[in-house]
């Protein structure tokens, strides 16, 4: 549950596990429901991103070193706070990567960055999440504790040791329930499409985010669009870390090699 080391950034919302002052691009990563910034620790250390990108990981309130802070169950409010925290770091091209709940937040932050600057963001990666236009009512946050734990076992992504430890469960359950409430009560407000490229990633057996629903992200950008489907369920990326890293790295190299973000019609 503890972070690998003390983060070097003063902002509580962001973690930087490996500073790369020479990097031309910053990749901002958004965790899933119940997740923390350390989920992206391995990605931040990946040789595939050297020296192109520096990874910043978002740390939501209520977990790890922020565990004593009040939880936030509003996607728009979270997006507002995260966008403000990114202000000192938008001196370089920003790319955003989010998985599940993180994909929704990355999308909302991308919209706010676009309103603030025509040159940001330069790329959006959305993983394991149906497009905002594919609304489906969710009730997981209303489940009892035992049923919620069963759901966590079913979708994966949580260390089974945590789910078998009553003391750890007492910390995990309120955080997970809060995050599910945030995503299940989120409603997309139709707006003009993004202008940056969007890459959507999905597991072919993900019942929460079937590939057809993930493909609908195409409607949310006027820029190039690509869909990558991997074998697996909701946390397919745990088994395909290198494949996902390669997809991201290829895009970041493209960003680093140009001065202006890609624009154009969806493909």
Backbone angles phi, psi at 176, to 5 degrees: -65, -45
Angle formed at CA 90 by CA 86 and CA 96, multiple of 5 degrees? 70
**Contact of 154 with 196, CB cutoff 8 Å:** no
Pick from 107, 80, 75: which is nearest to 180 by CA? 75
Report pLDDT for 175.
Answer: 93
Q: Which structural domains are found in the chain, ordered by start?
A: 14-256 (3.40.50.1820)
Q: Which helix (H) or strand (E) holds 182?
A: helix 166-184
> Residue written as tokens 């740390």?
59
Distance CA 59, CA 241 (A): 20
**In the 8-state DSSP scheme, what is residue 193?**
P
Report pLDDT for 144.
Answer: 82
**Contact of 71 with 178, CB cutoff 8 Å:** yes
* Other residues' Cβ atoms within 10 Å of the Cβ of residue 256: 16
3-state secondary structure at position 188: coil
> Could you tell me which residues come within 8 angstroms of residue 210 by beta carbon, excluding any fewer than 6 positions away?
130, 202
Report pLDDT for 138.
Answer: 74
> Could you tell me which residues come within 8 angstroms of residue 77 by beta carbon, excluding any fewer than 6 positions away?
none
> Could you tell me which residues come within 8 angstroms of residue 202 by beta carbon, excluding any fewer than 6 positions away?
127, 128, 209, 210, 211, 214, 215, 227, 228, 229, 230, 236
* Other residues' Cβ atoms within 10 Å of the Cβ of residue 80: 14
Report pLDDT for 150.
Answer: 85
Helices 101-116 and 166-184 cross at an angle (nearest 10°) of: 50
3-state secondary structure at position 138: coil
Report pLDDT for 7.
Answer: 53
**What is the residue-level pLDDT of the chain in tens, covering all 267 positions?**
344 444 567 799 999 999 999 999 999 999 999 999 999 999 999 999 989 999 999 999 999 999 999 999 999 999 999 999 999 999 999 999 999 999 999 999 999 999 998 889 999 999 999 999 987 777 778 778 888 888 888 887 777 777 777 788 888 899 999 999 999 999 998 889 999 999 999 999 999 999 999 999 999 999 999 999 999 999 999 999 999 999 999 999 999 986 544 444 333
Q: Which tokens sit at 199?
A: 């890459």
Q: What share of the chain is helix, strand, coil (3-state, %, to 5)?
A: 40, 15, 45
> How many helices, marked H, and strands, marked E, lie in the chain?
9, 7
Query: Checking DSSP bridges between strand 14-15 and strand 53-58, what pairing results, if any?
Result: antiparallel
Residues with a known catalytic role: 100, 234
Report pLDDT for 203.
Answer: 97
Distance CA 21, CA 11 (A): 18
Report pLDDT for 163.
Answer: 75
């Amino acid at each position: 549950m503890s972070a690998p080391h003390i983060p070097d950034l003063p902002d509580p919302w962001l973690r930087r596990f490996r500073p790369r002052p020479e990097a031309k691009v910053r990749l901002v990563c958004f965790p899933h429901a119940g997740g923390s910034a350390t989920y992206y620790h391995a990605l931040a250390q990946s040789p595939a991103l050297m020296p192109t990108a520096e990874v910043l990981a978002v740390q939501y309130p209520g977990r790890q070193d922020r565990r004593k802070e009040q939880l936030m169950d509003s996607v728009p409010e979270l997006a507002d706070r995260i966008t403000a925290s990114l202000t000192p770091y938008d001196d370089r091209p920003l790319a955003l990567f989010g998985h599940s709940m993180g994909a929704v937040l990355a999308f909302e932050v991308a919209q706010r960055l676009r309103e603030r600057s025509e040159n940001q963001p330069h790329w959006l990666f959305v993983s394991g999440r149906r497009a905002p236009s594919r609304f489906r009512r969710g009730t997981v946050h209303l489940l009892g504790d035992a049923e919620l734990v069963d759901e966590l076992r079913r979708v994966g992504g949580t260390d089974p040791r945590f789910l078998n430890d009553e003391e750890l469960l007492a910390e995990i359950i309120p955080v997970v329930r809060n995050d599910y409430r945030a995503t299940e009560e989120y409603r997309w407000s139709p707006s003009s499409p993004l202008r940056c490229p969007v890459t959507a990633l999905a597991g072919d057996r993900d019942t929460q985010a079937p590939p057809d629903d993930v493909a609908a992200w195409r409607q949310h950008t006027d820029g190039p669009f690509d869909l990558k489907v991997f074998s697996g369920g909701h946390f397919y990326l745990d088994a395909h870390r290198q494949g996902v890293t390669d997809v991201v790295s290829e895009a970041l190299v493209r960003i680093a090699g140009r001065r202006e973000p890609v624009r154009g019609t969806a493909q």
